[in-house]
Structure 1
Amino acid sequence: MIAILLAAGQGSRLLPLTLSAPKCLVPVGGRAIIDHQLDACAAAGIERAVVVGGYRIEQVAEHLSARKGGPATELVFNPFWAAASSIGSVWAARDALRGPFALMNGDTLFDPALVAHAVADAQRGVRLVVDRLEAAEEDDMLVEVADGRVRAVSKTLSPERATHRSLGLVMSAGGGAYADALRAVIGADEGIHAFHHAVIDRLAGVDACGAIPVPAGAHWQEIDRPADIARWREEHQPS
């Protein structure tokens, strides 16, 4: 299995931390976000990672070359990082989508046990890791799950339908379903401005995506604003 890390963006909501460094290199608990992710992948047995960079990619290249241990990394450039949405970064890594993969947003921290659980559960088809929705937060990617299947994904999903939120972690056991759906979505009108979850929504429309619930006690945290860094510290580094 290959990990695909979407780490091309600047992260404007983390300014001024991202004024001179990409979001994936912002330190959380003394380690860059990307190091948290790669270490979690290594603990789950993933031995290779494709990192999609864009904003200040030279810093990402330098950081990866200095890393010791963990998955072997390949850095891929998304030249459209400032113009397209996250789907552009998935497109840049499309050569890695035919075999087994774990695709993740480059701004989310996962307990290593959570990634290991997702890897163990990715035995067939395409699956999305989801967390039970208690109270929706701003910018949540909302998911409708029924009978263990993803039925719809959208930030604008109605409250009556939304049952879970997405972690931005997509698992595939291999095959062409995800890559074919990606090509269809990005090739549509305004497709370059779609979130990469639109690929999952398309698969959900033909009952081709399962759901992997977050296991009890596992933690994850999207790092979108300075308050998210503080929240992670409170949970993982209590005084």
Structure 2
Amino acid sequence: MQAVILSAGIGSRLLPLTREIPKCLVEVGGRSILDHQLEALHAAGVARAVIVGGYRYRQIGAHLSRAAPPLPVRLLFNPFWSVASSIGSVWMARDLLGDPFVLMNGDTVFAADLIAAAVEAPGDGVGLLVEPLRAAVTDDMLVTVANRQVCAVAKDLPLDVATHRSLGVIVSHSGDAYAQALEQVIARAEGLHAFHHAVIAELATYAPVRAIVAGEGAWQEIDQPEDIAAWTGQQR
């Protein structure tokens, strides 16, 4: 199992924190988001990680050289980070997606047991980590789940059909179904501007996609400055 971490975006909603550093190096609880993620992945038994960087990506490389990550890490550069959505970063790692992988956004902090449960969840093929929808937030990626399968994924999914929200973590234990769906989505006229969740939405129209329901482990998307304090509160 290897990890793919999407860390190319500028993180404009975290300004001024991201004026001089990439979003994944913003500190949460005294450590960078990236350090939190690599530690959680290592604790979950993931063998290695690939980080797809873009905005100020050289700073990511310098940080990794200093930080001595707990697992082998490789940095990929996405030169299209400023003109494409997150799907462009997934495309840069497409050659890795035929092997077992766990893919995550580079702006979310997870408790190690949450990632371990996702990686170890039974079942073949592709899975999406979700949690039951209690109160929708404007920027949530909403999901419809039925019979433990993902049926639809979109930010504008009607609330009367949305049952869960995505945590942005995709797991694949075998096969190239995800890579094939990625190619189908990105090849469309506006494919470069799609969120990478569009790949899951595409795949779910013709193949099973497991809904991996998150347990009690803490997680926090670091999207705005106040989210940093929210994670610190969860850890007390």
Q: Same fold (TM over 0.5)?
A: yes
Residues 201-220 of structure 1 correspond to what in structure 2 (within 5 A)?
Answer: 201-215=201-215, 217-220=216-219
**Residue 198 (structure 1) shift:** 0.3
Counterpart code for 2:102? A
Cα pair distance change 1:211/1:4, threshold 3 Å: same
Identity over the aligned pairs, expressed in percent?
56
Residues 11-50 of structure 1 correspond to what in structure 2 (within 5 A)?
Answer: 11-50=11-50
The residue number in structure 2 matching 1:228 is: 227
SS at match of 2:168: strand
Counterpart code for 2:138? E
Counterpart code for 1:6? L
The residue number in structure 1 matching 2:162 is: 162
**Residue 95 (structure 1) shift:** 1.2
CA contact (8 A) 2:128 2:170 kept: yes
Specify every segment of 5 or more residues in structure 2 that has no aligned partner in the other structure, as ranges: none
> Is 2:45 the counterpart of 1:83?
no
- Could you list the per-position Cα deviations for residues 141-200 of structure 1 after superposition, in whole angstroms to 9, with x for gaps in the alignment? 000000000000000000111000000000001211000000000001100000000000
**Residue 203 (structure 1) shift:** 1.0
Which stretch of the first structure deviates more once superposed, 163-172 or 122-131?
Answer: 122-131
Counterpart code for 1:138? T
Cα pair distance change 1:172/1:164, threshold 3 Å: same
**Residue 206 (structure 1) shift:** 1.3
The residue number in structure 1 matching 2:63 is: 63
The residue number in structure 2 matching 1:181 is: 181
CA contact (8 A) 1:97 1:174 kept: no
Which stretch of the first structure deviates more once superposed, 42-51 or 199-208?
Answer: 199-208
The residue number in structure 2 matching 1:2 is: 2
Distance in structure 2 (CA, Å) of the matches to 1:180 and 1:223: 30
Q: TM-score, normalised by structure 1?
A: 0.97
CA contact (8 A) 2:35 2:69 kept: no
Q: How many residues align?
A: 236
Specify every segment of 5 or more residues in structure 1 that has no aligned partner in the other structure, as ranges: none
**Residue 69 (structure 1) shift:** 4.1
The residue number in structure 1 matching 2:52 is: 52
**Residue 68 (structure 1) shift:** 2.0
**Residue 208 (structure 1) shift:** 2.2
The residue number in structure 1 matching 2:112 is: 112
Distance in structure 1 (CA, Å) of the matches to 2:132 and 2:146: 12
**Residue 122 (structure 1) shift:** 5.5
